[in-house]
Amino acid sequence: MSVPFPDTASDDGTEARLLAEAAPGDNIGLPPSGDNAPALSVSQLSAAIKRTVEDGFARVRVRGELSGAKRAASGHFYAALKDDNALIDMVMWKGQAARLAFRPEDGIEVIATGKLTTYPGRSKYQLVVDTLEVAGEGALMLLFEKLKARLGAEGLFDRDRKYDRLPYLPRTIGVVTSPTGAVIRDILHRLADRCPTHVIVWPVLVQGDGAAAQVAHAIRGFDAIEPGGPVPRPDLVIVARGGGSIEDLWAFNEEIVVRAIADCRIPTISAVGHETDVTLADYAADVRAPTPTAAAEMAVPVRAELMAQLAAWNGRIIGAANRQQGLAGERLAALVRHLPRRDALYAPQRQRLDDIGDRIDRAQRHRLTMVAERLATRSGALRPVLLARRWDRDRARLEGLGRLLGSLDPRALLSRGYAMVRDADGAIVTTAASARAAGRLRLQFADGEVAAGVADGDTPPPAPKPARRPPPAVPDAPGAPGAPRRGQGELF
């Protein structure tokens, strides 16, 4: 049977041990002697290495190319610096990363300044960067071209996104620049010389940490002003800065500034640097001005030239109006000369009026003559003998009609002993069936009415309702007008 470690002796002849022995001074604080040194923990060794590295490389400047650049959700920036033969990790904490003057991307050559330290959690060393700068103008131009290509591919520099022309005479102009530099004085002085207008200055930093953020915030602030509010909305925005190196103007190459200008709904003039200076803000703006002074000249026309032009136009308008008035007067005079005289116009109408008057007089006389003749003809029929004869004939006819009417009057029959039978509703009863159906009847005689009931066979008649009785009369001889007629009453 073989053993796992058959050889228990070391190469130098010493015997290998399984259990480590404590050094003589481990428990009493004495310094170790010989090769029997105390064992260090991993944390102790890592701390010792960390102190050694930080003490030896407390401040270093390293030049290299960025690789694996990323910004964490916490705001910290992580990347690696590399060259042809080596690579070292770097970290930039949130406070320093927020103040970067450019956007770090892979492939950019930079110079990082900071201190070297170790990360015990991964047994790695890394560079904690305080400042990060682009390594030279060549690297800045490379970054400029890369950013220009990327933003151009998104369409931020397309011509169809821009206004074709600036407002001719803006009432309010917004200026984004430093409030203390010579730029704002040049702009205000030039505007006052050409055409005084209302200017709103949004003060910002134009260089250094936070400049890009302030410029972008100012542009978006002007764009957010609502028309008709307490602060007038600008009709035109000028983004201006004086000349300088590419590092000085880099804030106007930042992506946040370019996007703010591209998104602005107000026409924008970019006036950054001198005529030879070019920034990405120039590509995004609607118009690029070579200098801030030139931007002021583009913004407004010359007031004196406007007044002269208006005066010239006014003179032309007055001259044209006078010429038209003169021509119209000549045409009117010519027309007046060709018009007929008033008497010639009125003569036919006057003659016609006289003719119509004569015709009316003749017609009236003729009509009166005809009426007189008709009246004379009709007056013969009005003689007294004829009238009396017609009167007697009509009276005799009327008397005959009266006698006929009297003979047809039902009340005349009632005086001869007849009675008119009515039901309770006042309708005339003409048949026995109708009388039996009515039950209660009223008999009208010549001198009044009597209530009666209908009896059929042996059935006694219903009790009559009390009727109004006429006032009692003194009994007279039978047949007197007030005496009751017993003959008719016995029938019912």
What is the pLDDT, as a whole number, of residue 381?
65
What is the pLDDT, as a whole number, of residue 13?
52
What is the pLDDT, as a whole number, of residue 485?
47
Q: Is residue 313 part of a domain?
A: no
Q: Are residues 172 and 289 in the same domain?
A: yes
What is the pLDDT, as a whole number, of residue 486?
44
Neighbours of 387 (CB within 10 A): 10
φ and ψ at 176, to 5 degrees? -110, 105
100, two tokens? 């970067």
Q: Are residues 205 and 288 in the same domain?
A: yes
311, two tokens? 């005066």
328, two tokens? 């119209």
**SS3 annotation, the chain:** CCCCCCCCECCCCCECCCCCCCCCCCCCCCCCCCCCCCCCCHHHHHHHHHHHHHHHCCCEEEEEEEEEEEECCCCCEEEEEECCCCEEEEEECHHHHHCCCCCCCCCCEEEEEEEEEEECCCCEEEEEEEEEEECHHHHHHHHHHHHHHHHHHCCCCCHHHCCCCCCCCCCEEEEEECCCCHHHHHHHHHHHHHCCCEEEEEECCCCCCCHHHHHHHHHHHHHHCCCCCCCCCCCEEEEEECCCCCCCCHHHHCHHHHHHHHHCCCCEEEEECCCCCCCHHHHHCCEECCCHHHHHHHHCCCHHHHHHHHHHHHHHHHHHHHHHHHHHHHHHHHHHHHCCCHHHHHHHHHHHHHHHHHHHHHHHHHHHHHHHHHHHHHHHHHCHHHHHHHHHHHHHHHHHHHHHHHHHCHHHHHCCCCCEEEECCCCECCCHHHHHHHCEEEEEECCEEEEEECCCCCCCCCCCCCCCCCCCCCCCCCCCCCCCCHHHHCCC
Q: Are residues 297 and 260 in the same domain?
A: yes
What is the pLDDT, as a whole number, of residue 288?
92
CATH code assigned at 237:
3.40.50.2300
Q: Are residues 296 and 166 in the same domain?
A: yes
CATH code assigned at 114:
2.40.50.140
Residues of the chain with pLDDT under 50: 1-6, 8-10, 23-31, 33-34, 458-459, 473-492
Q: Are residues 166 and 293 in the same domain?
A: yes
Its domain, for residue 427, covers 408-456
Where is the domain boundary, 238, 270, 301?
A: 301
Whose CA is closest to 127, among 200, 44, 54?
Answer: 54
Query: pLDDT (tens digit, 9 = 90+) per residue, 6-37?
Result: 454 445 555 555 555 554 444 444 445 445 66
Query: pLDDT (tens digit, 9 = 90+) per residue, 132-142?
Result: 887 766 677 77
Q: 90, exposed or middle or buried, with CB in 10 Å at 0-12, 13-18, 19+? A: buried
Q: Is residue 273 part of a domain?
A: yes
Tally the domains of the chain.
3
Q: Is residue 128 part of a domain?
A: yes
CA distances (Å), 393 to each of 379, 380, 400, 482, in order? 21, 20, 11, 42
Q: Is residue 469 part of a domain?
A: no
Where is the domain boundary, 301, 335, 356?
A: 301
What is the pLDDT, as a whole number, of residue 218?
94
Q: Are residues 167 and 127 in the same domain?
A: no
